[in-house]
Amino acid sequence: MKKGKFPLLGDKFPKISVKTTHGMKNIPGDYEGKWIVLFSHPGDFTPVCTTEFIEFAKRDAEFKALNAELIGLSVDQVFSHIKWVEWIKEKMDVTIPFPVIADEMGHVGSKLGMLHPGKGTNTVRAVFLIDPEGFNRLILYYPQEIGRNIDEVLRALKALQTSDKYKVATPANWPNNDIFGDKVIVPPASDEKTAAERLKDKSIECKDWWLCYKSL
């Protein structure tokens, strides 16, 4: 990663030591061997952020089943985070099981491109998916006005893991693509011989040599 630039896709995620509601954490070091879903929110005790935290909390077991850990973040103090988490438990009957980073000075948010110059010091709604080797694999940015779709975060995580494991790509809306359903895309042939052989391969289906797919 170039100095002064926030991490791009494929970059090593920068090592950060942060204060959280679960104590000090080193990211990604403390999560070696696991996927990390790091997501920021504009502020505690705000309506949209509260709905997002509730949804992330309700899906925590699904993320853990995918060897992934959730981590929240905003520029609020840790005391505010703790009180907000208590409020969610008391008023909404939902326990927040994951740590929330208190980025009080905005250093982490600035490093990760989470601070929008037109929105004051609040962090935007960013999502970083970090793989078990500490590489940044996906970035999503939402404006403050739009709540995130947690299903999409889970879908993207499953798609990345499937791509890594089977060396394939996934089509639009996978695993519910209108044409291919839950089938995956075989990487296109890179030479004429492979292209010709591809059409004779009974283990895959092809619309043409460059558009082949298969079931897992």
Catalytic pick among 49, 70, 112, 153: 49
Q: Is 212 a catalytic residue?
A: no
> 10-13 long-range CB contacts below 8 Å, 24 or more apart?
10/135, 10/136, 10/137, 11/135, 11/136, 12/134, 12/135, 12/136, 13/128, 13/130, 13/134, 13/135, 13/136
Name the pairing type of β-strands 100-102 and 68-74.
parallel
Name the pairing type of β-strands 68-74 and 35-40.
parallel
* 8 Å CB contact between 51 and 134: no
DSSP 58: H
Q: Compute the C-alpha angle 189/191/195, nearest 5°.
A: 50
Nearest to 130 by CA among 42, 12, 50, 51: 12
DSSP codes joined into one string, 180-191: TBT-EEEPPPSS
> CA-CA distances (angstroms) from residue 82 to 14, 16, 22, 23, 99?
26, 21, 10, 11, 10
* 8 Å CB contact between 128 and 146: no
Indicate which residues carry an active-site annotation: 49
